[in-house]
Structure formats: C-alpha cells, structure tokens
Amino acid sequence: MAITLVNPSGLPRIDAYHQVSIATGSTLVFVAGQVSWDADGTTVAPGDLAAQVEQCYLNIATALAGVGASFADVAKLTVYVVDWTPEKMPLLLEGITRAATKLGTTPTPPGTLLGVASLSSPDHLVEVEATAILD
C-alpha cells in the first residue's frame, strides 16, 4: 500500500482523521471536488447536509475506483462546507459515517475543513476533493 497514516506524538489525536500521511507510491491521483450530484448530474438531497456529505464521499469512491484506487490510497481530503459553524459537525460526521458504512471503510486520511460562502450551485452545501497515491 502506498499510504501510511500516522498520528505523531506531540499532536492531538483526532478520531475523524490522522494528522499525517506518508506516501511511498509513484502515481499521484487528484480527484476534482465532488458535490452531491448523482450519475445524471442531479443534485441529491437539497438542503440535507448529511445526505450531501454522504453523496460526495460516494462520488469520491466512484472516481477513485475508476482509476483503480480506493480510500485506502487517499493521502489528503479537503472538505468545503457552505456557511460552516461547529454546530454542523454532527451532520458532517453522520454523512461520513453513512458513506463509510456503504463503502465498508472508514476514510481517515489527513483532512482540511473549510467554511465557504458558496459553491458552484446554491443547492450544493458541501464539496469534497481528494489526493491519492498509487504504487
């Protein structure tokens, strides 16, 4: 496997992600930001943050599978949430948990969570992008 996830001593241990990923592979995979579109380009669950997070993670998994990768190969995730407040964290985690259950994995690579004013469509509440490494 090209990715090793680490929580170095001296940094806080966060259950939702690891602090560092060590990449030893030679092929970089950059997945464009995924929103809550289904395969036909229809927005899934307008107004429902948890359901949109779930769809974004499922879309990331589909994109990765298309190039022979999986969440095990992800070195970094970036999550953009419209009008972020800490009160939205339970909905974000619910969506990730639902996607993880469907995918049979728990994606915990290093991640960055950013609050943004808006995304490409007013129906989109969240967007997730990924960087993966393949051998």
Residue with tokens 């950059």: 30
Domains contained in the chain, CATH given: 3-134 (3.30.1330.40)
Could you tell me which of 27, 26, 24, 119 has the C-alpha nearest to residue 78?
119
Q: Is 134 exposed, middle or buried (0-12, 13-18, 19+ CB in 10 A)?
A: middle
Residue with tokens 């095990």: 72
Q: How confident is the model at residue 120 (pLDDT cuts 50, 70, 90)?
A: very high
| Dihedral class, residue 114 (left if φ above 0, else alpha if ψ from -120 to 50, else beta) | beta
- Per residue in 70-115, pLDDT (tens digit) is 999 999 999 999 999 999 999 999 999 999 999 999 888 999 999 9
pTM summary value: 0.92
d(CA 50, CA 119): 16
